[in-house]
Amino acid sequence: MISPLTLAKDRLSITEAWSRCGLPGQPKVGMNQSPFRKDSNPSFSIYAEGKRWKDFGTGESGSVVDFVAKAQGLSNTDACTAVIRLAGTEATKTGSTVAPVRHPAPAPWSSVESVWEEGRLWLAGNQETKERMASWRGWPVSWIDALIEAGHLSCPVHEGGRGTAFRVLRPAGEEAVPVGFHFRKKDGGWRFVPKGIKAHPFILGSLHSPHLIITEGQWDAITLAGSAGWLDRHEAWPENVAVVGIRGANGTSAFMEAVASVIPKTKPEVFIIRDGDKAGDKWRTDFAPQVKELAGSVRLFRLAEAKDLNDSHRNQPITSEEVMAILGEIK
């Protein structure tokens, strides 16, 4: 009998685990820039057909279990569980029956709400941090203020350090309820808090809107909404539009789960802005057809001269006229 962990280690490559953990960069078998530290000269090797890794800058190495343990700050035992979950091998055969491996439910939002709120109020009163964050993404500070006021953005303290975090909402009927936050540590790694919550999409507006704009990530979603003028603190969010940012490689599955009972009824016009890389190509071949089966219509757009929308904006700020030209007229 093959154990779930053995199956998972065989199925889940380092490159897939890298993406599913929400780490920055586009991993490949060969030399990469380390996702765990500043690495101007690529020194992070993925080898053995994607099953092993070695960081020549630190001397660390290991299997996908060791990689996930480092990426998510887990013990070896918890990393084994995470790898099984990421690979989808939760079930093991016992005789002729299938016995699921049961994992503890994530802690409720109430367990981290006070930490989130402290971080939100801290950020609201820290002009230097807001200006640094805005400059980093190429945004005006007013967008940061709007996100803070709406409850989307915070700088909570987690694992001994303060970092940027976006609130995670679980779609539930007409509303969306908070379940945790997506936390970015200073080393660039991302964590879902509490551990175990799903990679629900970042949502601005309502999923019940007749127009859904989907981007690859929360940075791109905010860039598009702000450039369109929809983050103006003196204006109401347009009722007929929602902007959605998919979170990581697991995010498309979480999005499809979130909208499975919604968009077949509303039949929205969906506009997908995909990245100009292999992940973006996969959205075109895999993700878009899934959405099209449920939605009223689907259109795709890819930036020609930048990896993604936020990169393009940082190089040259996008105007509201340019956003509308990309989207076409939204009535």
Query: The domain 199-331: what is its CATH number?
Result: 3.40.1360.10
Task: For the chain, give the percent of residues with pLDDT over 90.
Answer: 36
Longest alpha-carbon distance in the chain? 64
Burial class (CB in 10 A: 0-12, 13-18, 19+), 75: exposed
Q: What is the pLDDT of residues 83-132, one digit of tens each?
A: 988 887 765 444 444 454 455 667 888 899 999 999 999 999 999 999 99
Q: What is the mean pLDDT of the chain?
A: 85
Name which of 52, 13, 8, 57 is nearest 35 in CA terms: 57
- Sort strands 269-274 and 211-215 into parallel, antiparallel or unpaired: parallel
Task: Supply 9's token pair.
Answer: 């280690």
Give the C-alpha separation, 43 to 21, whole Å.
Answer: 20
Judged against a pLDDT cut of 70, whether residue 242 lies above it is answered with: yes
pLDDT value at residue 94: 42
Q: What is the pLDDT of residues 254-303, one digit of tens each?
A: 888 878 777 778 898 999 988 777 777 888 888 889 888 888 899 988 87
Residue scoring higher pLDDT (90 or 213): 213
Mean pLDDT of 200-208: 90
In the chain, domain spans: 4-100, 106-197, 199-331
pLDDT value at residue 220: 92
Highest-pLDDT range among 12-21, 65-74, 117-126: 117-126
pLDDT value at residue 249: 66
Judged against a pLDDT cut of 70, whether residue 233 lies above it is answered with: no
Q: What is the pLDDT of residues 27-60, one digit of tens each?
A: 998 899 999 988 888 899 998 888 999 998 888 9
Task: Supply 205's token pair.
Answer: 């507006």
Task: Provide the whole-model pTM.
Answer: 0.67
- Angle at which helix 218-227 crosses helix 320-327, to 10 degrees, equals 110
Query: The domain 4-100: what is its CATH number?
Result: 3.90.580.10
Residue scoring higher pLDDT (118 or 170): 118
